[in-house]
Structure 1
């Protein structure tokens, strides 16, 4: 099954978790884009929902397809949220961060009664190994300090730069992103906790408690893995 069909079967399974008159969280990525297309078709058949999202691209797609988007700051609870990820393991630890909006994604995940990842089979691993760097969103003033503390934990930090202008990439909230490569991670949960405890760190790209379900699409079809 090619990638486009994998995305479609994931999205088709996800639609079953969306109920009328609810608030839905949507992350970013191609799986979410495919889900938005299906949602727009359901809206034509009288589905009424509101969307919150941390992603400008997702917001634009929702507007394009006639899906109502409301500001996250006006919402205190989300019925179900969907997102993708770079990698997730059997303990429901997930790695994100490439898009640089993981702190806002984590907020939406925490607000959701259900936080469901849509992935293809190759993104599911037995144990998260963080092949991609772990990312931190940090305050600008803390760059040197956080970098030093990260090195003391065995990491090699690099501040993310902008390809659209000279200098560091600045998030919508005025913060910096720090990408960290670790050669050997023995206890991911402890490392994540240690990173979160560094003053100046706003959030990490590692999700250890938010994911409740994973919809996995592969050549053999689609399956759902639940935390409980």
Structure 2
């Protein structure tokens, strides 16, 4: 639901020349502002839409919701937006990535941030989930913001299909390490001294050069050759230049299986 702040007329007197409806309609009308913001093919779409429906039913009027990335999160946002439009719910989303922010804008959902609001709950996806509900995330390069929002939320629902469950973290996906570009060689050297692992700088597919994260950093993908213990994240982050890792251990999550 769109709201118009009457105080705008005090700050911007020229608004008085317009009717309220005209002011509200002053929004972008270009193609990228209205087109579907998820362009790729969605695998297991029927099952993911069921999970998305579960998430949308949890929404209550006044909720502030942490919003993750990925195809299932996008479908959940679509289902939430449909409820907002149909029922006139007043909710706000805290996006954890540019992707999520664009999805919210396209679907007409209000957004806020952690400086102004604390999430009542959140939802996100994961690349891997082990038997202790520990996660590997980070293919989208937004680990830092995802952890901030997840740590701020009383509970985060993780939407995954059966292919994401593993007996050992790192079984199917490399562990992303986000680092300051200036620390690339230092971090790589320290990691090789610390543990057995294969390291590869993540390169971009849609542009020349490496992937740049949401925070302007690089990503080293680390293929693990040993079992992940709960202290690994602390050891990794003790290396100067490491900003964040894709290990999500000890967060209040509930797994929703597609």
Which TM-score applies when normalising by structure 2?
Answer: 0.77
Aligned to 1:225: none
Aligned to 1:100: 141
Q: 1:48 offset after TM fit, Å? A: 1.1
Say which SS state the counterpart of residue 188 (structure 1) adopts. Answer: coil
- The alignment status of 1:66 with 2:129, answered yes or no, reads no
Aligned to 2:215: 173
- The alignment status of 1:118 with 2:152, answered yes or no, reads no
Q: As a proportion of its length, which structure holds more strand?
A: 1
Q: 1:204 offset after TM fit, Å? A: 0.4
Tell me if structure 1 keeps the 8 A contact 2:61–2:91.
yes
Q: 1:76 offset after TM fit, Å? A: 4.8
Report which stretch shifted further, 185-194 or 198-207: 185-194
2:231 is aligned, of 167, 174, 190, to 190
Larger Rg: 2
- Going from structure 1 to structure 2, the CA distance change for 1:111 and 1:163 (only over 3 Å counts) comes to same
Q: 1:188 offset after TM fit, Å? A: 3.1
Aligned to 1:7: 48
| Counterparts of 1:169 and 1:199, CA distance in 2 | 20
Report which stretch shifted further, 49-58 or 157-166: 157-166
Say which SS state the counterpart of residue 25 (structure 1) adopts. Answer: strand
Aligned to 2:240: 199
- The alignment status of 1:147 with 2:188, answered yes or no, reads yes
Aligned to 1:210: 251
CA deviations 1:97-142 (Å, max 9, x no partner) are 1111111111111111111101112222344344211111111111
Which TM-score applies when normalising by structure 1?
Answer: 0.87
Tell me if structure 2 keeps the 8 A contact 1:55–1:101.
yes
- The alignment status of 1:47 with 2:89, answered yes or no, reads yes
Unmatched 5+ stretches in structure 2 = 1-42
| Counterparts of 1:180 and 1:34, CA distance in 2 | 30
| Counterparts of 1:167 and 1:80, CA distance in 2 | 36
| Counterparts of 1:117 and 1:40, CA distance in 2 | 19
Tell me if structure 2 keeps the 8 A contact 1:96–1:206.
yes
| Counterparts of 1:168 and 1:127, CA distance in 2 | 28
Unmatched 5+ stretches in structure 1 = 218-228
- Going from structure 1 to structure 2, the CA distance change for 1:3 and 1:165 (only over 3 Å counts) comes to closer
Supply the RMSD in Å over aligned alpha carbons: 1.7
CA deviations 1:157-205 (Å, max 9, x no partner) are 222223344332222422111111122x223323222112211111100
